[in-house]
Amino acid sequence: MRYAMAVDTKKCVGCSDCVVACQTENNVPIGYCREWVVEVLDGTYPQLEMEIRSERCNHCENSPCVRCCPTGASHYSDGGIVLVNEKKCIGCGACITSCPYDARYTHPNGYVDKCTFCIHRIHDGLKPACAAVCPTKCIYFGDLEDPGSEVSEILKKRKHKTLIPEAGTKPQLYFLI
Amino acid sequence: MTTRRQFIKISAYSVGVLAVGTGVYKAIDKLSAPIQANTLTVDLTRIPTYCEVCFWKCAGWIYKNDQGKIWKIIGNDEDLNCNGRLCPRGTGGVGMYYDEDRLKTPLIRTSDRGKQVFREASWDEAFAYIAEKMKKIAADHGPECVALFTHGSGGTYFGDLIKAYGSTSIAAPSYAQCRGPREVGFIATFGEEVGSPENTDIRDTKCLVLIGSHIGENMHNGQVQEMSDAIDKGATIITVDPRFSTAAGKSKFWLPIKPATDLALLLTWIREIIYNHYYDEAYVEKYCFGFEALKEHVKDYTPEWAYGITTIDPNLIRATAKEMANAAPAVIVHPGRHVTWYGDDTQRSRAIAILNALLGSWGRRGGFFRPDKFDLPSYPHPPFPEPQKTWRDAFPDKYRLADLALASGICEATIPTAARDCSFKGWIVNGTNLIETLPNQKQTIEAIQHLDLLVVVDTMPMEITGWADVVLPECTYIERYDSIRTGPHRKPQIALRMAATEPLFDSKPAAWMAIELSKHLGLEDYFRWGTIEELLDWQLKQVGSSLEEMKRIGVKTIERANDDIYFTENEEIEFSTPTGKIELYSTSFEAEGFDPLPKFTQHEEPPQGFYRLIYGRGPAHTFSRTANNPNLTDIMGENVLWVNPKVAREWGLENEQPVWLENQDGIQSEFSIKVRVTERIRWDSVYMVHGFGHADKRLRRCYGKGASDTKLITRVHIDPIMGGTGMRGNFVTFLTEKPAEKEVAS
């Protein structure tokens, strides 16, 4: 099993509903977020191009955050999902520094927090909150080892990229371009 | 200026209320304590609702956590408005409930050693006070002199109350400040309004033309979803906008038009479509009136003519006209929603309607469908008294084509003049912050000074509450029942809003307020239905459902009586226009003395050193209503000013630099706004999202954040056809230093 997510930049309007849904679903405190939206603009008026991306933890297959964690709090869970065991986390922040995607933050309760792909929802057969709420249906989620999953299907059909592939972390968050 | 009514600020307000606030704060802290992940899967109850954060009214489910506290709101899969997916504002609706700055108790304005203050009051005191004033206004001036402004579900009940009292002056700013010109333009052409949600068949369109419409920045949920579906299906999007909007970024064609020239482009498109025989000849022949007159009328509007006005490349105009024709009839020239721009907005909407008629898209798949709606019976009540006069009497022979009341008109008519015998003496304001909603704040505040009674019903201490005599704290939609939602769609649906929890503080539902106030006014006979639950159950049972059923399902779909969502081949149709045809040439406009065919008019351009002020929507906010919502301020806590890099260089402006703005009338922004240097805006304009720059300190999260566009909109171009308030004819310049404090009108 290999969970992955694909975000369609052609459909994403950058409304940040994913961010709000993540916040309420996972009780992320006001003032913090596990995901965010990026707008990249190229060109000069009126020759312009814009890419909008909903971003979060890339659940890398070769995760520097897991490697550098001194207590084993950061670990791989089902289907390669990268999680933090908040009881083991001492809040040292090594993982925050090691992450090329800046996907982690220190929760006011002292531990490091991040996207879980809503693993509690996956266990219930649901999609992550961001994918379930997105009004543009631009977030695809599933098991890459299942060729029939929506994420496998869309990655077969569409041109895509990952962010900072040169960091060698084997990110599992794909962007359809 | 000595005024009778002062704006009440926090200094006067806090004494009594902070004591309440402190206790509340503790309660809130406890409520929002994080829930551990292992509790998320416990059996949860879910309560049906429909959203009140905007007018789209998506149906959803309110979930509670295992401590019984409000946790999250998720869309209802059955609902055609949202298809199970709420927008960020709907998802963030929980923030409305948890906002610590909510109004907590009724307030009555009093005078304390010459200074006006609010005192906390009981509900009974508040109602007695209002009833006494309303009775006096009725006796002295007639009940017609009380008006209701409403933009929320509570308007239903206050509407019944005010009709029972004897007035029919009920206005929503969503008409004369927003979609009114569009409705009048479409009614004149097709005999039908566009309505809400719009009957645009975006899901199945092959070509979507957006002209000053910002789907994706306005999160009109169903439309955003369908635009995404259309992208998936390979539809062409054509966006006309001086700003590289989100939709422009998704478009095959972006026409970076010079602001205020849209009508020139539309007329040229009409010409291209007629003279290249791109139009649907059979459709025009069968259904349309006035084709030859239109053809003659537009003959000189060539792409080269339009180029000089709009700055759009003539070949791009030709190519886009062809693109529309290729997609026809599955093409939508979108009517937009906030269309009160330059004062000729009804005529621009007419041009849009005409274009759609020529392409044969009205009533066709991928164009505009025929919506269907299911109406519930009203509970029997005595007939409402017939008012002796209405808001229309304030404007004899004007705005006769307006099909709804003008909020701005009632505001204007509140200021007495020698020529007018209909001036308003009392306002009830429900769920609309008129200070930030109506343009020309000075006039709004002047009108307020002439009132004998101003009652404001709101959940938040919005600016308008500071001017009130009585403030009634409404509970949020999460805490109340409301009337059944019955809006139109592809299939008729009804949706229930149920109270998910007891109201926080001493806030109450508007329905309850209206019933209680009716007792003080001796009008309880109009509210014989008992509690709102009893009313809803009675209504639902008349149509074979029940409150019990709706509590379980939230949304009920009723099949269409006929399979008539689109026109059928050669269907005989009588349109509700004077000729019974789609009127390319408007006989109703002609009868009222207006141009029966839209003409291009030149609008004023910004003076040297000034830039046109363009405002719009951010996806995480609704008007000025959500600016203090904790979840949504997390996404966008203030607005920024978009400035083209050329302009920024000229002024030496940098990203994040705070500037103040001054408009053509010398009016300055109260607060600074941060510059965003971006290629996404033309050099002759600046842009900001509407709804920020709040000036009431009781809104602690958003006070002083960003600038208020409304404050800078002092020049209003009134649409002579229906009284819409054109607001895009204002120009601003930058002040890089904080301007000296001017005396704030109080």
pLDDT tens, B318-335?
999 999 999 999 999 999
For residues A167 and B591, give the distance between their C-alpha atoms in angstroms, rounded to a whole number.
71
The minimal CB distance from A13 to the residues B82, B224, B630 is found for B224
**Beta-strand pair A173-176/A3-8:** parallel
The minimal CB distance from B228 to the residues A19, A52, A136 is found for A136
CA dist list (Å): B318 to B272, B275, B321, B660, B678: 7, 11, 5, 41, 29
Residues 246-265 in B contacting A (C-alpha not used; CB under 8 Å): 246-250, 254, 256
Tokens (6 digits) for B728: 């895009």
pLDDT at B43 over 70: no
For residues B287 and B358, give the distance between their C-alpha atoms in angstroms, rounded to a whole number.
10
Is B275 inside any structural domain? yes
Q: B707, B661 in Cβ contact below 8 A? A: yes
Q: Chain A residues with CB inside 8 Å of B32's CB?
A: 30
Overall average pLDDT of the B77-102 stretch: 98
**Domain identity same for B204 and B298:** yes
Say whether pTM exceeds 0.90: yes
What integer best gives the mean pLDDT of chain B?
93
A67: Cβ contacts below 8 Å, ≥ 6 apart: A98
Tokens (6 digits) for B599: 């003409």
Question: Is B631 in Cβ contact with A16 (below 8 Å)?
Answer: no
> pLDDT class for B742, splitting at 50, 70, 90?
low
Bigger pLDDT: B18 or B707?
B707
For residues B420 and B584, give the distance between their C-alpha atoms in angstroms, rounded to a whole number.
37
Report yes or no: A126 at the B interface, CB cutoff 8 Å: no
Question: Is A23 in Cβ contact with B88 (below 8 Å)?
Answer: no
Q: What ranges do the domains of chain A cover?
A: 3-176
Give me the pLDDT at residue B12, please: 39
Report yes or no: A19 at the B interface, CB cutoff 8 Å: yes
Q: List helix spans (H) across B41-179.
A: 88-91, 94-98, 123-140, 155-165, 173-174
ipTM: 0.97
Q: Chain B residues with CB inside 8 Å of A41's CB?
A: 244, 678-680
Question: Is B630 in Cβ contact with A30 (below 8 Å)?
Answer: yes
Overall average pLDDT of the B273-285 stretch: 98
Question: Is A45 in Cβ contact with B634 (below 8 Å)?
Answer: no
Strand, coil or helix: what is B167?
coil
**Domain identity same for B574 and B712:** no
- Of B504, B497, B496, nearest in space to B459 by CA: B504
Phi-psi region of A61 (alpha: psi -120 to 50; beta: other; left: phi over 0): alpha
Question: Is B679 in Cβ contact with A48 (below 8 Å)?
Answer: yes
For residues B437 and A171, give the distance between their C-alpha atoms in angstroms, rounded to a whole number.
47
Q: What is the pLDDT of residues B510-554, one digit of tens each?
A: 999 999 999 999 999 999 999 999 999 999 999 999 999 999 999
Give me the pLDDT at residue B116, please: 86
Q: Chain B residues with CB inside 8 Å of A11's CB?
A: 228, 231-232, 250
**Domain identity same for B582 and B708:** no
Report yes or no: A157 at the B interface, CB cutoff 8 Å: no
Question: Is A136 in Cβ contact with B244 (below 8 Å)?
Answer: no
* Number of domains forming the structure of chain B: 2
B56 HSE (CA, 13 A, CB side):
29
Strand, coil or helix: what is B412?
helix
The strand ranges marked E within B512-584 are 555-557, 582-583
Q: B241, B209 in Cβ contact below 8 A? A: no
**Domain identity same for B281 and B333:** yes
> pLDDT class for B100, splitting at 50, 70, 90?
very high
For residues B538 and B541, give the distance between their C-alpha atoms in angstroms, rounded to a whole number.
5
Report yes or no: B682 at the A interface, CB cutoff 8 Å: yes
Question: Is A133 in Cβ contact with B228 (below 8 Å)?
Answer: no
For residues B612 and B545, give the distance between their C-alpha atoms in angstroms, rounded to a whole number.
53
For residues B655 and B643, give the distance between their C-alpha atoms in angstroms, rounded to a whole number.
9
**Domain identity same for B580 and B718:** no
For residues B61 and B583, give the distance between their C-alpha atoms in angstroms, rounded to a whole number.
44
Give me the pLDDT at residue B20, please: 33
Q: Chain A residues with CB inside 8 Å of B40's CB?
A: 120
Task: Give one DSSP letter per residue of B340-378, joined into a string.
Answer: -SSS-HHHHHHHHHHHHHHHT-BTSTTSB---B--PPPP
- Of B619, B243, B616, nearest in space to A14 by CA: B619
For residues A74 and A89, give the distance between their C-alpha atoms in angstroms, rounded to a whole number.
8
**Domain identity same for B583 and B680:** no
User: B118-132, B301-315, B414-428: which has the minimum mean pLDDT?
Assistant: B414-428
Q: What is the pLDDT of residues B560-604, one digit of tens each?
A: 988 899 999 999 999 999 999 999 999 999 999 999 999 999 999
The minimal CB distance from A25 to the residues B72, B224, B630 is found for B72
How many Å lie between the alpha carbon of B369 and the closest alpha carbon of chain A? 21
> pLDDT class for B622, splitting at 50, 70, 90?
very high
**Domain identity same for B208 and B353:** yes
Report yes or no: A44 at the B interface, CB cutoff 8 Å: yes
For residues B697 and B709, give the distance between their C-alpha atoms in angstroms, rounded to a whole number.
18
For residues A153 and A6, give the distance between their C-alpha atoms in angstroms, rounded to a whole number.
10
**Domain identity same for B587 and B677:** no
Question: Is B91 in Cβ contact with A136 (below 8 Å)?
Answer: no
Q: B340, B713 in Cβ contact below 8 A? A: no
Q: Containing H/E element for B389?
A: none
How many Å lie between the alpha carbon of B698 and the closest alpha carbon of chain A? 19
Q: What is the 3-state secondary structure (H, E, C) of chain A?
A: CCEEEEEECCCCCCCCHHHHHHHHHCCCCCCCCCCEEEEEEEEECCEEEEEEEEECCCCCCCCHHHHHCCCCCEEECHHHCEEECCCCCCCCCHHHHHCCCCCCEECCCCCEECCCCCHHHHHCCCCCHHHHHCCCCCEEEEECCCCCCHHHHHHHHCCEECCCHHHCCCCCEEEEC
Say how far residue B715 (Cα) sits from the centre of its chain.
20
Q: What is the pLDDT of residues B61-85, one digit of tens each?
A: 999 998 999 999 999 999 999 999 9
Q: What is the pLDDT of residues B348-379, one digit of tens each?
A: 999 999 999 999 999 999 999 999 999 999 99
pLDDT at B16 over 90: no
B68 HSE (CA, 13 A, CB side):
2
Q: Which amino acid is at B57?
A: K
Residues B320-348 as b/e (b if ≥16 CB within 10 A, e otherwise) read: bbebbbebbbbbbbbbbbbbbbbbbbbbb
CATH number for the domain spanning B189: value is: 3.40.228.10
The minimal CB distance from A46 to the residues B256, B620, B634 is found for B256
For residues B328 and B319, give the distance between their C-alpha atoms in angstroms, rounded to a whole number.
14
CATH number for the domain spanning B657: value is: 2.40.40.20
How many Å lie between the alpha carbon of A77 and the closest alpha carbon of chain B? 15
Residues 644-663 in B contacting A (C-alpha not used; CB under 8 Å): 644
Question: Is B632 in Cβ contact with A120 (below 8 Å)?
Answer: no
Give the best residue of A7, A15, A39, A81 to mutate against chain B (max B CB count within 10 A).
A15
* pLDDT < 50 regions, chain A: none
Q: B149, B132 in Cβ contact below 8 A? A: no
Q: Containing H/E element for B213?
A: none
pLDDT at B4 over 70: no
pLDDT at B93 over 80: yes
Give me the pLDDT at residue B582, please: 98
For residues B254 and B241, give the distance between their C-alpha atoms in angstroms, rounded to a whole number.
7
Burial of B159 from C-beta contacts in 10 A (0-12 / 13-18 / 19+): middle
B694 HSE (CA, 13 A, CB side):
28
Query: Between vectors from CA A70 to CA A67 and to CA A72, what angle results, nearest 5°?
Result: 70
Overall average pLDDT of the B74-100 stretch: 98
Is B140 inside any structural domain? no
Q: Which fold has domain A3-176?
A: Alpha-Beta Plaits (3.30.70)
Strand, coil or helix: what is B723?
coil
Q: Chain A residues with CB inside 8 Å of B35's CB?
A: 27
Torsion angle in degrees (nearest 10) through CA of B356, B362, B368, B370: 160
For residues B535 and B551, give the distance between their C-alpha atoms in angstroms, rounded to a whole number.
14
For residues B630 and B634, give the distance between their C-alpha atoms in angstroms, rounded to a whole number.
6
Q: In what order do the strands lie in the sheet with B115-120?
A: B115-120, B107-112, B470-473, B453-458, B426-430, B146-150, B170-171
Report yes or no: B418 at the A interface, CB cutoff 8 Å: no
DSSP state of B144: G
Is B520 inside any structural domain? no
Strand, coil or helix: what is B339?
coil
The minimal CB distance from A137 to the residues B228, B254, B631 is found for B228
Q: Chain B residues with CB inside 8 Å of A44's CB?
A: 679
**Domain identity same for B583 and B673:** no
Residues spanned by the domain of B693: 611-735
Task: Give one DSSP letter per residue of B224-271, joined into a string.
Answer: HHHHHHHHHTT-EEEEE-SB--TTGGG-SEEE-PPTT-HHHHHHHHHH
Phi-psi region of A137 (alpha: psi -120 to 50; beta: other; left: phi over 0): left
**Domain identity same for B204 and B353:** yes
Give the residue from B557, B591, B625 where a domain finishes: B591
- Of B689, B656, B659, B652, nearest in space to B673 by CA: B659
pLDDT at B31 over 50: no
Question: Is A20 in Cβ contact with B92 (below 8 Å)?
Answer: yes
CA dist list (Å): B279 to B205, B607, B629: 17, 40, 48
For residues B176 and B412, give the distance between their C-alpha atoms in angstroms, rounded to a whole number.
13
Strand, coil or helix: what is B623?
coil
Neighbours of B362 (CB within 10 A): 25
Q: Chain B residues with CB inside 8 Å of A33's CB?
A: 634
Question: Is A24 in Cβ contact with B87 (below 8 Å)?
Answer: no
**Domain identity same for B253 and B307:** yes
Q: B332, B202 in Cβ contact below 8 A? A: yes
Q: What is the pLDDT of residues A49-74, one digit of tens each?
A: 999 999 999 999 999 999 999 999 99
Q: What percent of chain B has pLDDT over 70?
A: 94
Whole-number CA gyration radius for chain A:
16
DSSP state of B218: B
pLDDT at B427 over 80: yes
Overall average pLDDT of the B10-14 stretch: 40
- Of B220, B573, B202, nearest in space to B361 by CA: B202
For residues B161 and B167, give the distance between their C-alpha atoms in angstroms, rounded to a whole number.
9
Report yes or no: A131 at the B interface, CB cutoff 8 Å: no
**Domain identity same for B587 and B618:** no
